[in-house]
Amino acid sequence: MTCVRVATRESELARTQSRLVADLLEAALGVQTELVPLKTSGDRIAGSLAKVGGKGLFVKEIEEALLDGRADLAVHSAKDLPAHQPDGLELVAFPERADPRDALVTRKPGLTLSGLPAAARVGTGSARRTALLRALRSDLAVVPLRGNVPTRLRKLEEEPLDAVLLACAGLERLGLAERIGERVAPEQLLPAVAQGVLALQGRVGDPLARDAAVLSHAPTAARAIAERAVLQGLDADCNVPMAAYAELDDTELHLRALIASVDGSRVLRAEARGEASEAAALGARVAAELLRGGGEELLCELRREVPS
């Protein structure tokens, strides 16, 4: 029986997620699988990722393993993927999406985002969450926070923090859903591009990558493609506080997106509806609307603040 090597980041969450996809591969293709855990540059860096290369740092070593043959496929958290794929690689499947919302985890149980007291200290490592939190609750103190999910939860207990913001999907996949105090509505914090989505990556032209496409969940794929098309249209990275979130009603997508200033004082929004079969075009249209509505100038300002 063929053994398929699946590259993944080495964190507990990444390995758990990759095992889920590997099990789907085994069931669908009748193969054996082996995880190939790799430490990425993003995992090694303690400071701001935006200043040293952005979210691509979480995938670089994994993609290199695919390209040089040390792995046959790779599993990524789709929200970690840069706007564009490297030559020779492609995204071949998006399994069914988990909860895309942000999760508020609080030191004192029962609190919600709107119910946090003034000056409460909220930890997050996301430029998007930081900007939108400041726009929504300028009275809160936003504290920079890095580390994997268990590390961030530990910091909530050990450091002077009142709450942390994480992804619902990650907590659920680690069996920590009971820690979620509030699943924050998209109307308050619009989710990150493809948050809650796993992406299976393979080599262009590889028969295995073609066969693995059977794992793709059509509604999830349409939503992820639309959201990623906004990211591509803006040519944005993790130093840009942006969000894109698509919902599917039968065959129609409703796509909402935004760009914000770092301090949350400006939030530019755009939305549109279109057929799921035209997901990429819909995302490109929303990105163009954001750029026309002041997004181009805001992006220039953001890039000056954090040079690429």
Positions annotated as catalytic residues are: 80
Instruction: Output the six-digit token pair for 262.
Output: 């770092």
- Tokens representing residue 25 in the block: 């591969």
DSSP 8-class letter at 186: T
Residue keyed to tokens 């979210």: 55
Cα separation of 22 and 118, whole Å? 45
Q: Are 127 and 239 in contact (CB under 8 A)?
A: yes
Name the DSSP letter for residue 277: G
> CB–CB of 137/264 below 8 Å?
no
Torsion (CA) 256, 58, 132, 146 in degrees, nearest 10: 160
Measured at the alpha carbon of residue 74, what is the angle toward residues 78 and 283, in degrees to the nearest 5? Answer: 30
Q: How many CB atoms lie within 10 A of CB 116?
A: 20
How far is CA 202 from its chain centroid? 19
Per-residue buried b or exposed e for 51-77, using 16+ beta carbons within 10 Å of the residue's own CB:
eebbbbbbbbbbbebbeeeebbbbbbb
Nearest to 224 by CA among 249, 203, 239, 244: 244
Q: How far apart are the C-alpha atoms of 265 and 135, rounded to whole Å?
A: 6
